[in-house]
Structure formats: C-alpha cells, structure tokens
Amino acid sequence: MSPERYARIRRLLSLRQPSLTVCLEQLYKPHNASAIVRSCDAVGVHKVHAVVSEDVESPQSASGLRKSAILKATAMGSEHWVETQVHTSIDSAVETLKQQDMQVLVTNLSPAAVDFREVDYTQPTAILLGQEKLGVSAQAKALADKEIIIPMVGMVQSLNVSVAAALILYEAQRQRQLAGMYNKPLLDEASCQRTLFAGGFPNLKKICDRKGLTYPYVNSEGVIEADDTWWQELQYGN
C-alpha cells in the first residue's frame, strides 16, 4: 500500500478505543447493523459484539436472514476497520465483556433506567442494544450492570436502534475526548496489524479468509513481510 495510506490507517488506529464497544442482541436488519458499525468506526470503537443465536422470535421468516444481519452489515464496507465478534448467546457475550472488566450498560425503555448522559463512559464500557421490534431480552437486562435510556418526550415510544447507538456513542466520545483518551494510542499492536492487512490489502484478506491463512506482518513502509511458503499458499493453495 502507499505510504500515505499506511500513515492514514496508522492514524486511525492511534485513535481507537479498545475499552469501548457495543453488543447487538439479535438485530435482524442489516442496514441497522451496518449503520451502527459505521458509527462505531467514526468514534473509534475497534470491535463490535453481536449475539446471533437462533432461539428468539424474529419478524423475518428465514432465520438465515436474521442470523447474517451483522455479517451482511460488515460486508457493506466497514469490515476492514471494525472487527466483529459473534456470540451464540447473550450469556456468553456478557461473560466475554465482563472478563474484559467492562461495565455492561443495557439500553432499555424503562422508567427505572438512568439518563444515558449521567453515565461515566471513560470506564471500560459495553453498550447493549436490542432487537428492532422486541428490544433487549429479559436475560440481557438481568446480566447488565445498569439500564440506560435516551429520554423521549414525543409521541413515538422509541428511536431507531442505529440512532440510539449513535447518540450514546457520541456521548461516550465526548467524555473520552475531554478525558484525553484520544491523545495516546491504546490499541495493541496485534490488532493494529490485523487492520493494517485487512484495510491495506482487502483483496488478499479475502483470499486469506477463504483459505484460512494467517494474516502476514505489515512493516512500517506498508509492505507485507511473509515467507515464500505463505505466498505460495496464497497463490496456489486450496
């Protein structure tokens, strides 16, 4: 890749916030998931979590449509920049987030929920967002540390889920910027390397994914450093 592109990717990686994420529970509309991934990229979220288990009622007739919402979304353009971790249950998703010492905030349209602007997002934080029609599950509410709400004073009961995500993410971004959290790189080098390869060499990344090849090292000039075996596997392997 060109030195300019390498520098641009390095710059975005230096602003990533590995301790801020969202978890999408059973979203079934790819354009919503896609819009949320774009907002995540815009505020520096590096990884999105998604729960895609099959056991929740969906307005979609074909379960495959629902299951692949996040995968379709990430295929719409942001996948080089924002990683996705898929979970098969809300329990395993929340367990993963809590293992990373994240406070888990569940968005819920309840009088008991606190105004989303009253939360400290400089703490490691995961924002749990619910399905377009049904909202978050009872189990998600039970597992979360706190319920948050975006105040609504009009006729409609709720916002579109991607709009809700963007509002909360930008409040988190505002607080983190004030706290100086965008002033020094926070993302580990292994994650940076994955994004440098995925974003700098998208066509090679596709081949690697298809063939199950490990991603190579990208040096400080934006050039791939890999041995002959790797190149041969890339060109001729199945």
Does residue 76 contact residue 34 with C-beta atoms inside 8 Å? Answer: yes
At 77, the amino acid letter reads G
Minimum CB separation of residue 161 from ligand SAM in Å reads 4
Q: 132, 187, 197, 222: which one contacts ligand SAM (CB under 6 A)?
A: 132
**What are the distances in angstroms from CA 228 to CA 140, 202, 216, 235?**
48, 20, 12, 11
Residue number, 144 or 196, with CB nearest to ligand SAM:
144
* β-sheet bridge partners, residue 25: 51
Segment interacting with ligand SAM (CB under 6 A) among 1-9, 11-19, 53-61, 130-138? 130-138
Site for ligand SAM in 109-128 (CB under 6 A): 109
Question: Of the candidates 135, 200, 216, 222, which one interacts with ligand SAM according to CB under 6 A?
Answer: 135
Residue 112 half-sphere exposure toward CB, CA atoms < 13 A: 6
Nearer to ligand SAM, 69 or 164 (CB): 164
Interface map 147-166 toward ligand SAM (x if CB under 6 A)? --xx-x-----xx-x--x--
Q: How many residues bind ligand SAM (CB under 6 A)?
A: 14
Shortest CA distance to 169 belongs to which of 33, 44, 31, 15? 44
CA distance to 24, 26, 59, 79, 233, per residue, from 64 (Å)? 17, 12, 12, 20, 32
The residues binding ligand SAM (CB under 6 A) are 107, 109, 129-130, 132, 135-136, 149-150, 152, 158-159, 161, 164
